[in-house]
Amino acid sequence: MPLLHAVGRGVFADRLVYLLATNLVYECLLGVTLPGMLNLAFLALLIKYMLLGVILPLVAFSSASLAAAIMPVVLLEALGFSMAAAASGRVGVAWLRPARLYGQGIRRRDALRRALRELPCLLLSALAVLVFSSLLETVLSYAAESLPRLLI
């Protein structure tokens, strides 16, 4: 969870750039979208949410107020990553089973082109959710740094 790494990382813009790079580029595009295009989005999400299920109870047991503070960020990121997986999963399905997505009679190449044309529209909504999550995460990292006695 990048929120815990963002605390103490300098000015607001530096933290925001770090969180945007982590959420959008590394986790969303490289960690979910590319595997989704290879029809591995479910596996990528399974690993991501399994790790989250291991980390979140540790945070909750150490500090219930910190867990409550980061829960909106966790939910927004889960929504954004799931939306990105669904969007890129369409490309994987169009590549492997085009008739399932677009009906009988469509060639694999045409289905793949069509799915790739639809991908940016679907992926933009996921990226918008993750940008909002990064902004919220940046604000929370400042709150965690400036009010440590209330969160811990």
Residue 69: both structure tokens together: 């503070």
The position carrying tokens 């590319």 is 34
Angle at 132 between CA 131 and CA 137, to 5 degrees: 95
Rounded Cα distance between 68 and 25, Å, is 26
Rounded Cα distance between 151 and 145, Å, is 9
How do the pLDDT tens digits run along the chain, 152 residues long? 555 455 555 678 888 888 889 889 998 889 898 898 888 888 889 998 998 888 888 888 887 777 788 889 999 999 999 999 999 999 988 888 888 888 888 899 999 999 999 999 989 999 999 999 999 988 887 776 666 555 45
Burial of 36 (0-12, 13-18, 19+ CB in 10 A): buried
- pTM here? 0.81
61 vs 28, 64, 73, 126, CA distance in Å?
28, 6, 18, 30
Predicted local distance difference test score (pLDDT) of residue 151: 47
Predicted local distance difference test score (pLDDT) of residue 128: 95
Angle at 106 between CA 102 and CA 110, to 5 degrees: 95
